[in-house]
Structure 1
Amino acid sequence: MSLSRIVLRLARNPGTEFAGGDDHRGYALTAPLTEDGHLDENAFSKVKGECSVRRFAPDEDAVDGRLNRRGARWFFDYDNTDDTDDEPLHRLGEHRFALGEYVTVTDEDGRPLTYKVMEVTPVQ
């Protein structure tokens, strides 16, 4: 089992101010993946402390947090003492992290936005 660095960039989101997408907005996360690119739930429990996320955008400071889960629900957690900052990930356990795949993240304003997987590299 190894960790991977996964970069998600904002894809086209019609009906929002990001209708054309934005390559400068997204997430970089570190997580264990199975050989076929899904989150490795068994490995996650062993390396949970190493599973991080960084949200980046050109008009705000980068925010660091961690990948976490409660039951089957995965989310990005930026303050482990407060649930209101959590960003849920739609059916993340079913997504395949491979170049060109899409992932939906519910942002801090409660709206679901689609991101495209732009990079998946092993962490050395």
Structure 2
Amino acid sequence: MLHHVTLHLARSKQFPEGSPRYGYEMTAPLDDQGRLDPQEWSNTRAHCRVRRFWGDEGERQGVLVHRPGGSGGATWMIDYNQDRAGDEEAGYHLHQHRFVPGEYVTIGDDDGHPHTFQVVSVTAGTPRRVGEDR
């Protein structure tokens, strides 16, 4: 089932309190334990959208992709332009993490620098554009 997930930047040296100005809003297929579901992704990939908001830099729109290879046999990534390589952001062991409020996930930016995010909300829902009014 598709879920709407919001991630905010977690505490770090640069942001001791974390920051809701940096993060992601995504529509992603989650199983009953809150883990990304590759089988459901293959059926709903057209709806698996991501909005990245990054302080004063504005936002970027992308898609959630599941690619073969990597740890655990596959890699979850955010791709901002599917016609161009090199703009992807890779998740770190996202297949193992639970997307439930209070949990943490790590996503590397397109330069490969990892950032940790806290899951702040998860709601089940029908497909819609990420960032669209509820």
Q: Normalising to structure 1: TM-score of the pair?
A: 0.92
Aligned residues: 121
CA distance in structure 1 between the partners assigned to 2:31 and 2:125 by the alignment: 14
Q: Which residue of 2 is the match for residue 51 of structure 1?
A: 48
Q: Which residue of 2 is the match for residue 35 of structure 1?
A: 32
CA RMSD in angstroms comes to: 1.1
In the TM superposition, residue 61 of structure 1 has moved relative to its aligned partner by 1.8
Q: Which residue of 2 is the match for residue 107 of structure 1?
A: 109
Provide, for residues 18-55 of structure 1, a one-character-per-residue CA deviation record: whole Å limited to 9, x for no partner.
34321111000101111111111111100011100000
- The answer as to whether partners of 2:64 and 2:76 remain within 8 angstroms in 1 is yes
Q: Is residue 8 from structure 1 mapped to residue 7 from structure 2 by the alignment?
A: yes
Give 4+ residue runs of structure 1 displaced > 6 Å after superposition. Answer: none
Q: Is residue 88 from structure 1 mapped to residue 87 from structure 2 by the alignment?
A: no
Q: Normalising to structure 2: TM-score of the pair?
A: 0.86
Which residues of structure 2 form unaligned runs of 5+? Answer: 69-73, 127-134
Which residues of structure 1 form unaligned runs of 5+? Answer: none
Q: Is residue 121 from structure 1 mapped to residue 123 from structure 2 by the alignment?
A: yes
- CA change 1:84–1:19 in 2 (3 A) is farther
Provide, for residues 43-102 of structure 1, a one-character-per-residue CA deviation record: whole Å limited to 9, x for no partner.
110001110000002211211000001110110000001121100000011110101000
Q: Is residue 76 from structure 1 mapped to residue 60 from structure 2 by the alignment?
A: no
| Identical residues among aligned pairs (%) | 41
Provide, for residues 1-29 of structure 1, a one-character-per-residue CA deviation record: whole Å limited to 9, x for no partner.
x2100000000123xx3343211110001
In the TM superposition, residue 104 of structure 1 has moved relative to its aligned partner by 0.2
**Letter paired with 2:111:** D
